[in-house]
Amino acid sequence: MSLNTISMGDTLLSYLRQVSLREQEVLRALREETCRLPNAGMQISPEQGQLMALLVQLIQARRVLEIGTFTGYSSTVMALALPPEGELVACDVSDEYTQVARKYWKQAGVDGKCRLHLGDARETLRQLLGSGAQGTFDLAFIDADKSGYLEYYEGCLKLIRPGGLILVDNVLWGGQVADSSVQDSDTEAIRRFNTMLSEDSRIDLSLIPIGDGLTLARKR
């Protein structure tokens, strides 16, 4: 079988970052601080963040919704790509981790763009829909508990405009989604999610093997 997607070892990844990554100092500092914390693996890679920022710019996004903020790398990199009047609504359950995010939002000068909702994102999505926000977001990023992916996706699909994007992280799940011997609840949830999206006629779809797998879904 021919090799269709190049394998990304440490040496090649280092080269990729050397010739393409334009990471601002505030983002590098945030990434390095996060690497010293528990659950550091939840942080997205810098090249994925740069791609997401480019997508924000390409679709000229003004309103972004994030489900799962952690220490704030993804929200910071996207907020930096928003115009001055842009807004990012961030949802997370951890006050401890999002305190790091808030610190770096301020350092990056985007704290005025970012609005944090602490608590169950399902409730935040219901509140946004109840307040008339349907179709008012340009882009949504989902990177939270895997069991909630389908529910988060359905809420985000209502909240973004036609032509808007939903980005979903961890959809390759370290390769475990393709290993039938792995049947834990998170892996099964991601499999169900991936299968559902592959058949969803409401979107245009691409799954990119960057980081731990990133789905791009464009609302038709």
pLDDT of 3 > 70? The answer is no
| pLDDT tens by residue, 48-81 | 999 999 999 999 999 999 999 999 999 999 999 9
- What is the distance between the alpha carbons of residues 216 and 157, in angstroms, rounded to a whole number? 12
* Residue 217 burial by Cβ neighbours in a 10 Å radius (0-12, 13-18, 19+): buried
At residue 195, the pLDDT reads 98
| pLDDT tens by residue, 86-132 | 999 999 999 999 999 999 999 999 999 999 999 999 999 999 999 99
Position 15, amino acid = Y
- What is the distance between the alpha carbons of residues 29 and 158, in angstroms, rounded to a whole number? 35
- What is the distance between the alpha carbons of residues 136 and 162, in angstroms, rounded to a whole number? 10
| pLDDT tens by residue, 14-58 | 999 999 999 999 999 999 999 999 999 999 999 999 999 999 999
